[in-house]
Amino acid sequence: MTAVLSHNDVGAPTQHFEVRPFPAPVGAEIIGLDISKPINEEDFTRIHRAHLDHHVLVFRDQQITPQAHIDFSRRFGPLEIHVLHQFQLKNHPEILIVSNIKENGEPIGLGDAGVYWHSDISYKPHPSLGSLLHAQELPSEGGDTLFADQHLAWEALPADLQQRILPLKAEHSYLAKYEELRAKNPWRPKLSQAQIDQVAPAVQPVVRTHPETGRKALFVSEHFTTRIVGLPQDESDALLAELFAHSVKPEFVYRHTWAPHDLVFWDNRSLMHLAAGTPDHLRRRLNRTTIVGDTPF
């Protein structure tokens, strides 16, 4: 991946920051970097390398504007415009509001995002490279996000199961659990036909290869994966249930407890994530950008 350098980034002074791995299977925090300031190519290369090595980066204390969030995200590639246009940030369609807050009786964002394990946008031909979630307002309890390393999940499978699933493909659908979620959560909007047309199912490899590191990873999720192509439904269901359970074992998972102004950047090619949930009476709001990826192989 080649960094997108703006005029202001060329020759920008070096920022002195630390990459500090978590005592967890995956993840690291970045201390001392201000992403609202110009980032030169050398610093960006360090950030990019850390993202590939650790799969989820937590940039601490990023007191930034939505535009700075967008500009930093764009350094990694073009940005996705989410199908739920109802929850785009005003004047910034690249940002999806993730929130349980209601104003005048109406939700301001997607309140039940991430209630099932998933990799973002796996239901499109070009799933997301990564997503960046920026804390705006945090609850006094709850609201954690869990990340499961799918490289470790693949590597821990028995060799015979690896060989069985390596050639398989699976269907992913945004609509797989949509109506089930709407039944539980009245704030989740009914999709228009135009929105449904944007999210036709996609077929992906069950095991994908990371395009930058060459490492293999499981690429199925309880949220979006509906069936293994070419298998009878009962056999498909049984195999997916086995893979879903295996892929999120505790030894693959980092649990992130949010701090004010955290910006969390995860690699959707390497990880799945899950929202642990927030008590209904406590307010939570985050802004999310999502980077377009390439065709899985």
Q: Is there a catalytic annotation at residue 112?
A: no
Given 118, 188, 208, 269, the catalytic residue: 118
CA gap 133, 113 in Å, rounded: 12
118 an active-site residue?
yes
Among the options 120, 149, 262, 267, which is catalytic? 120
Q: Is 294 a catalytic residue?
A: no
Quote the tokens at residue 151.
């490289």
What one-character-per-residue DSSP string does the chain give? ------TTTTTPPPP--EEEE-SSSS-EEEES--TTS---HHHHHHHHHHHHHHSEEEE------HHHHHHHHHTTS-B---S-GGGEETTEEEEEEEE--EETTEESSBTTTTSS-B-TTTTSSS-EEEEEEEEEE--SS---EEEEEHHHHHHTS-HHHHHHHTT-EEEE-TTTTHHHHHHH-TTSPPPPHHHHHHT--EEEESEEE-TTT--EEE---TTTEEEETTS-HHHHHHHHHHHHHHHT-GGGEEEEPP-TT-EEEEETTTEEEEE----TTS--EEEEEEEE-----
Does the active-site annotation cover 273? Answer: yes
Give strand pairing partners of 53: none
Catalytic residue among 69, 188, 223, 288: 288
Closest CA to 72 of 264, 274, 279: 264
Exactly one of 256, 273, 284, 285 is catalytic; name it. 273
Q: Return the structure tokens found at 190.
A: 């009914």
Q: How far apart are alpha carbons 271 and 266 in whole angstroms? A: 7
Q: Which positions are annotated as active-site residues?
A: 118, 120, 273, 288
